[in-house]
Amino acid sequence: MAPLRLRHPQGVSTFHLDFDSATVGDLQQQIFAASQIPPSHQEIKSGYPPSTLTVIPELPLSSLGLRPGEQIIVNQRAIAAAVHPPTAGSTTLPISQSFSSPVPQPIATPSSTGPAFVEISDSSVLVHRVVPDDNSCLFSSVALIFEQDINKAQKMRQIVADGIRSNTETYNDAILGMPRDKYISTILTPSVWGGAIELGVLANHFGTEITSIDVETGRIDRFTPPTEKSRGDRCVLIYSGIHYDAATLSPVVDAPAEWDQTVFPIMSTDEDDPVLEAGKKLATILRERRAFTNTATFDLKCEICGKGLRGEKEARAHAQETGHVRFGEY
């Protein structure tokens, strides 16, 4: 373990990281613990004069070129598209509520000072429920939906681990991209992101379709349980490219979160389902606020060999092929 000195708006802190095994994401979590600046809002600088570092959470800490004992500076990046989180927690209301309303009309909140929402009918709105940006956002969002408690994110990770362990045919080493036992131990780590595999396991466990709507493209991805396990319900996640949030139904946008409905009856298997229509409108509002990150298309340059790279995927592949782990953004 080696020290790093952090200067941030609240003062100066020192913490220790294992430079041989830590990732950039581990550093971001240490910064978050010291400064309360979420990872996606962190602008990290080092050197003299200080220059902004290009951070890719899954790359090793060495990709930043930091040395033990070095001082780093972090400020909160101004993001005009930020949406402030509401009070955590919700509860699922009876699924008999009707959604036979006309196509929903989007109503954006003034100047991004509250959660984005879309009116579905005179008595309900679909609200963007933001969860912490702490690498467990997928699990926190699902915990909010099914447990009404984002603090049960680790329980969701355990459900995924158990589901993978019990279904060796579906979740084999080839599908997982690594030995099953290693994947299971990795996904139980709070700093590791979840994705399509995890959503599939959770949909199967809860017998509920999990629908993910991509903010940038409006694409809808559905993770469905087997027919024999399906309860005929769905829930909605909003995906920004690097972050998952939940979308819940509320009588009015500023109603207490405990009044929210988090699981909805499937009214149509097509995209004309009223909740999906509202979800697409919600994604449009967030897209207009630029509340997304395209990690697949931003341009990077290897600072060791000068090779140009496109997105996180190429950067990770280049690092594995060459051992080069210092990247800068064009």
Half-sphere exposure (Cβ direction) of 12: Cα atoms closer than 13 Å: 5
Which residues touch 182 (CB under 8 Å, ≥6 apart)? Answer: none
Amino acid at 147: E
Exactly one of 8, 133, 134, 318 is catalytic; name it.
134
Active site includes 324?
yes
Active site includes 272?
no
**Which residue, chain included where needed, has tokens 């009404």?**
148
Exactly one of 8, 128, 243, 318 is catalytic; name it.
243
Q: Which secondary-structure segment (H or E) carries 153? A: helix 153-166
202 and 160 in contact (C-beta within 8 Å)?
yes
Exactly one of 8, 133, 137, 273 is catalytic; name it.
137
Active site includes 134?
yes
Measured distance CA(327)–CA(330) in Å, rounded: 10
Measured distance CA(26)–CA(30) in Å, rounded: 6
Half-sphere exposure (Cβ direction) of 138: Cα atoms closer than 13 Å: 27
Give SS3 for 131.
coil
246 and 131 in contact (C-beta within 8 Å)?
yes
Nearest in space to 303 (alpha carbons), one of 311, 315, 294, 295: 315
Within 42-163, strands assigned E span 42-46, 51-52, 71-76, 105-107, 117-121, 124-129
Active site includes 318?
no
Measured distance CA(67)–CA(69) in Å, rounded: 6
Measured distance CA(264)–CA(275) in Å, rounded: 8
Q: Which secondary-structure segment (H or E) carries 17? A: strand 11-17
CA distances to 55, 94, 135 from 38, in Å: 13, 35, 10
Backbone angles phi, psi at 211, to 5 degrees: -105, 125
Q: 31 is written with which tokens?
A: 């910064």
User: Where in the sequence numbering do the catalytic residues fall?
Assistant: 134, 137, 243, 324
